[in-house]
Chains A and B, each alone.
Chain A
Amino acid sequence: MRGLISYVGRNRSLLVGTLLLLALALFVGIGSIFVDTEDARALSVPSLRPPSWEYPFGTDRQGRDLLAVMIAGTPLTLRIGFIAGFLGVGIGAVLAFTAAFYRGMTDTVIRSIADIGLTVPGLLVLIVIAVSIKSSLTVNEMAIIVASLAWLNPTRTIRAQVLTLRERGYVELAAMSGMGGPEIIFRELMPNLLPYLAATLVSAVSAAILASIGLEVLGLGPMDSPTLGMTLYWVNFNAAMINGWWWWWVPPIVIIVMVFLGLFFVTVGLDEIANPRLRKSA
């Protein structure tokens, strides 16, 4: 335990990232005890009040309490990110391990699909999917739409890692001692890649949040859910910037920046664990 604490002390990026995300979790956790998140719905409070004692974050034009919106919306946005990120890395890892371990035709097909898919602008494909489904989306449906492209990047990066690992001596030894393919993958390769998989997961979550916010700002999100991206959509829709309603857009921007910075620092920190050569000498 002491070793862990002193390590985190040295791994500054991991520390900063975790602290940022913890601060958000505290904000949401404590906030949901004291604030009624029902006020995040439109028409529940007087509209366009600047911050005051009664409404610390002010209210928006459609009569939402912005503090309640932030408290209800932050977990929703994170949920989209985590569902899509987990699905993406899960599918990506399965494909990557199969491709890199068995090579041959399977590898060629999987690699080509991932490579081609990555050159296509993801947001635009997601837009076509979202527009085609059209009927007002729920938060979970959003997550699944985003996940439909979230596996491309993990597949590519994990495959490259497995390719370098499978040439190692202990993998050959395992094969010679009669271990089957899946057994080698789960017992020899997976454990060695865990930190790397974790880093991939965090960056996939971040990418998924970015994609979901993009869809929402374009007006393709869950219209009745107060996610961070939908808040920005209403900010843009009502031209809050030009009208000087600063309290409307400052909180979502601050929270989104905190989410992305937090996830970014955690990725850098995990990379440092996965790749010890990056470590700073203590």
Chain B
Amino acid sequence: MQAVYIAKRFGVFLLIIWLAATLNFFLPKLSGQDPVRTKLLQQAALGGNVQAGMEEMVKEYNARFGLDRPLLTQYGSYLYDVGHLDLNYSIANYPRTVKELIAEALPWTVGLLATTTLLSFGIGTLLGALLAWPRAPFWLRYMMPPLWALHAIPFFLLGLILIYIFAFQVQLLPMFGGYSPGAVQGFTWAFVGDVAVHSILPALSIILVSIGGWALTMRGMMVTTMGEDYVVFAEAKGLRASTVFLRYCVRNAILPQTTALALALGQILSGAVLVEVIFGFPGIGALLFQAIQENDQFLIQGIVFTVIVALGLATLVLDIVYPLLDPRISYRRT
């Protein structure tokens, strides 16, 4: 049964990849622009050339790039290339390939996202659990309204405010980039420390906004769980309060949280893209911004495709791990 579940889930993952590739292929075609003709017209306009021979040139280039073949053949060869992770050249950074550029930026984004998501999920969940717990310290309750209010605003907006306070007014932290200009990159303590200092503000703007949401849902789940008979029974048995809290309440209430985490990854990433742009953090988001500025279609498509695949992979892993966390959910139910 496990094999069937995992195979099914893997099928969905492949479906997502196929959809992303198809979207990338057909959307630009829908705009009805002829890329070769547009480019040649631009150049003709720049050079002030006569239009003679233009049609032949369009035909010649279309043949060379395979754009004169039937749409389905083009689509087939596109899928083949994407399947081999060939994402073409970057138009603005030729002769560098899209794959190289993404490989450079990806570790930054993965690092930032993994750290912030784990921290905000952990802190938020714990906070939410404590809020529902009658014996929790009273002052915790005063922390929630500001966190909920923060939860309603976008990551990057808080980022702008943090930049103003901590980088412009107090000048405590760097306001731009992932490392100091001129720093030697490598796995040295100096460089790692430099990166850490540069990451504080981007990370804070994601964490502070996310905590409130996790706390809110966790508190709701805790209230429901604490009403269960087995919790009353555990208390009646005279178990220690910390045991009831951790092993009986939190252990059960945390399960829907992890499902929510899988669903939230996409949204967190969308928000993080803008945070990177605001902070000039050298990850996928900043690369995407640069690609949009330079109208580098291949790079944009490559980034979007990579991110969708990466997130699909992350949710796949979470979905496969989930039944391990919750024995009540057998692999049979998808």
Which residues of A are interface residues toward B (Cβ below 8 A)?
Answer: 112, 116, 118-125, 127-129, 131-135, 206, 210-211, 213-214, 217-220, 232, 235-236, 241-242, 244, 246, 249, 253, 256-257, 260-261, 263-264
Contact (Cβ within 8 A) B304 A128: yes
CA distance A235 to B157 in the complex (A): 12
B91 located at the interface, meaning its Cβ lies under 8 Å from any Cβ of chain A in the complex? no
Overall SS of chain A's interface: helix
Contact (Cβ within 8 A) A119 B16: yes
Contact (Cβ within 8 A) B168 A121: no
Residues from chain A with a CB closer than 8 A to the CB of B307 are 121, 124
B24 located at the interface, meaning its Cβ lies under 8 Å from any Cβ of chain A in the complex? yes
Residues from chain A with a CB closer than 8 A to the CB of B193 are none
B residues 10-62 near A (Cβ < 8 Å) are 12, 15-16, 19-20, 23-24, 27-28, 30-31, 33
Contact (Cβ within 8 A) A128 B277: no
B63 located at the interface, meaning its Cβ lies under 8 Å from any Cβ of chain A in the complex? no
CA distance A58 to B293 in the complex (A): 28
Residues from chain B with a CB closer than 8 A to the CB of A217 are 156, 274, 277-278
CB distance from A143 to the nearest CB of B (A): 18
User: Nearest chain-A residue to B149 (Cβ)?
Assistant: A261
Contact (Cβ within 8 A) A121 B153: no
Residues from chain B with a CB closer than 8 A to the CB of A118 are 263, 266
CA distance A118 to B315 in the complex (A): 11
Which residues of B are interface residues toward A (Cβ below 8 A)?
Answer: 12, 15-16, 19-20, 23-24, 27-28, 30-31, 33, 148-149, 151-154, 156-157, 160-161, 163-164, 168, 175-176, 262-263, 265-267, 269-271, 273-274, 277-278, 288-289, 292-293, 295, 297, 300-301, 303-304, 307-308, 311-312, 315
CB distance from B322 to the nearest CB of A (A): 14
Contact (Cβ within 8 A) B266 A121: yes
- Our pick among A211, A218, A242 for the contact of B175 (Cβ within 8 Å) is A242
Contact (Cβ within 8 A) A123 B308: no
Residues from chain B with a CB closer than 8 A to the CB of A123 are 270-271, 273-274
Residues from chain A with a CB closer than 8 A to the CB of B23 are 125, 128
Tally inter-chain residue pairs, CB-CB below 8 A.
Answer: 127
A–B Cβ pairs within 8 angstroms, 5 of them: A120-B308, A122-B270, A125-B23, A210-B154, A246-B164
Given A121-B308, A124-B270, A236-B278, are A131 and B175 neighbors across the interface (CB < 8 Å)?
no
CB distance from A231 to the nearest CB of B (A): 12
CA distance A132 to B273 in the complex (A): 19
Contact (Cβ within 8 A) A116 B15: yes
Given A217-B277, A219-B293, A244-B168, are A122 and B266 neighbors across the interface (CB < 8 Å)?
yes
Specify which of B20, B33, B157, B175 lies most central, judged by the most chain A CB atoms within 10 Å of its CB. Answer: B157
CA distance A232 to B312 in the complex (A): 31
User: Nearest chain-B residue to A278 (Cβ)?
Assistant: B220
Contact (Cβ within 8 A) B312 A253: no
CA distance A232 to B277 in the complex (A): 12
Contact (Cβ within 8 A) A214 B164: no
CB distance from A123 to the nearest CB of B (A): 4
CA distance A213 to B277 in the complex (A): 13
Residues from chain B with a CB closer than 8 A to the CB of A129 are 27
User: Nearest chain-B residue to A123 (Cβ)?
Assistant: B270
User: Nearest chain-B residue to A119 (Cβ)?
Assistant: B315
CA distance A235 to B163 in the complex (A): 13
Given A118-B266, A123-B273, A257-B157, are A128 and B301 neighbors across the interface (CB < 8 Å)?
yes
User: Nearest chain-A residue to B19 (Cβ)?
Assistant: A116
Given A122-B270, A123-B273, are A218 and B265 neighbors across the interface (CB < 8 Å)?
no
CB distance from B198 to the nearest CB of A (A): 15
CA distance A17 to B89 in the complex (A): 49
Contact (Cβ within 8 A) B156 A241: no
CA distance A121 to B168 in the complex (A): 32
Contact (Cβ within 8 A) A116 B154: no
CB distance from B94 to the nearest CB of A (A): 19
Contact (Cβ within 8 A) A264 B262: no
Given contacts A119-B262, A120-B20, A124-B288, 4 further A-B contacts (CB under 8 A): A119-B312, A128-B23, A129-B27, A260-B153
Contact (Cβ within 8 A) A127 B28: no
Contact (Cβ within 8 A) B153 A132: no
Residues from chain A with a CB closer than 8 A to the CB of B151 are 264
Contact (Cβ within 8 A) B269 A131: no
CB distance from A83 to the nearest CB of B (A): 20
User: Nearest chain-B residue to A130 (Cβ)?
Assistant: B292
Contact (Cβ within 8 A) B304 A260: no
Contact (Cβ within 8 A) A125 B161: no
Contact (Cβ within 8 A) A124 B31: no
CA distance A217 to B289 in the complex (A): 9
Contact (Cβ within 8 A) A253 B160: yes
Specify which of A116, A119, A135, A253 lies most central, judged by the most chain B CB atoms within 10 Å of its CB. Answer: A119
CA distance A232 to B156 in the complex (A): 11
Residues from chain B with a CB closer than 8 A to the CB of A218 are 273-274, 277, 288-289, 292
Given A217-B277, A219-B293, A264-B152, are A116 and B12 neighbors across the interface (CB < 8 Å)?
yes
CA distance A13 to B161 in the complex (A): 25
Contact (Cβ within 8 A) B153 A124: no
Residues from chain A with a CB closer than 8 A to the CB of B273 are 121, 123-124, 214, 218
Contact (Cβ within 8 A) A260 B289: no
User: Nearest chain-B residue to A210 (Cβ)?
Assistant: B154
CA distance A106 to B30 in the complex (A): 28
